[in-house]
Amino acid sequence: MPDICQDVSDSGVAKAGKSAGDLFILGILAGAYIALAAVGSTMVAFNLLANPETYGLGRCLAGCVFPIGLMLVVLAGAELFTGNVMLLLPLAQRRISLFGLLRNWVLVYTGNFIGALFVAFLIYHSGHLNAGMGMLESVTIRIATSKCSLTFAEALTLGILCNWLVCLAVWIAFGAKDVTGKILAMFFPIWLFVASGFEHSVANMYYIPIGLLAAQSPWTGAEALTWVNFFVSNLIPVTLGNIIGGGVLVALVYGYVHRK
């Protein structure tokens, strides 16, 4: 475990030192990878998610597909904001500056947003949402609406729980010695957060915009689905929760335990 702590810290120092252009491009790629995982996880489970009696099974099935997003980020190489909240560790160790951390977060977060929106745009115009005689579109709108209907406290708490697991997945993956080990390390924590219905800020950069695009025509029950609610009721509190869940409960806690 002390070796993992050192590796995470070293990785954070390297991330803080990357050029702005590289961070931005890799951020776009990570946002797209997470969005593609969201597309696949919704597709395989939408018929189950549409039925209250099979909703839990649908979450379970969706959770089996979504981990591919983090696998692509880690194994192919990309910059994901929810993993980069662990830059709080080298910051606490005074190995990077606050400016270096904020520079990384802003560039990567913006890139993630653009990448996720790009995939949402492609999916909307591809006819993909017509699957299941339009049921996929209906479920997509319902998912986005439920996310925009959360209170600030609910979204914050669900964001904490989510990124606690996401950063544990990344933390454990640092300890794996081969690709297979890294895949297994990432699969189960990510599956758990999706199956539990927790909130991931970058995933929501796809889930809510695609719902907003799909709901351009009137749809009963979508009153809460607005761009204002996207930011105020979901993205801002979920992002703050993700920072606490991954940066504080994983990076800083383990950093303190292994401080020697």
Whichever domain contains 51, its CATH number is 1.20.1080.10
Question: pLDDT value at position 259?
Answer: 85
Confidence of residue 18 (pLDDT cuts 50, 70, 90): very high
Question: pLDDT value at position 224?
Answer: 85
Burial category of 60 from C-beta neighbours within 10 Å (exposed 0-12, middle 13-18, buried 19 and up)? middle
Over residues 227-248, mean pLDDT: 97
Domain count, the chain: 1
Question: pLDDT value at position 221?
Answer: 65
Q: Are 94 and 42 in contact (CB under 8 A)?
A: no
Over residues 93-103, mean pLDDT: 98
Q: How many CB atoms neighbour CB 155 within 10 A? A: 26
Nearest alpha-carbon partner for 13 in 109, 90, 124, 121: 90
Nearest alpha-carbon partner for 174 in 89, 242, 113, 94: 89
pLDDT per position as a tens digit, 24-48 = 999 999 999 999 999 999 999 999 9
Pairs from 136-139 (Cβ < 8 Å, separation ≥ 24): 136/42, 136/43, 136/46, 137/214, 138/50, 138/219, 139/42, 139/46, 139/49, 139/50
pLDDT at 176 > cutoff 90: yes
Among 28-42, 153-167, 209-223, whose mean pLDDT is lowest? Answer: 209-223
> How far apart (Å, rounded) are the C-alpha atoms in residues 238 and 202?
9
Mean pLDDT of the chain: 96
N-term to C-term CA, the chain: 12
Give the CA distances from residue 9 to residues 89, 106, 178, in Å, rounded to whole numbers and listed in that order.
Answer: 6, 19, 20
Over residues 39-62, mean pLDDT: 97
Q: Determine the structural domain holding residue 77 and report its residue range.
A: 2-126+135-257
Question: pLDDT value at position 219?
Answer: 59
pLDDT per position as a tens digit, 112-153 = 999 999 999 999 999 999 999 999 999 999 999 999 999 999
Report pTM.
Answer: 0.96
Question: pLDDT value at position 217?
Answer: 63
Confidence of residue 241 (pLDDT cuts 50, 70, 90): very high
pLDDT at 61 > cutoff 70: yes
What are the residues whose beta carbons fall under 8 Å from the beta carbon of 209, sequence distance 6 or more? 116, 117, 120, 230
Question: pLDDT value at position 2?
Answer: 78
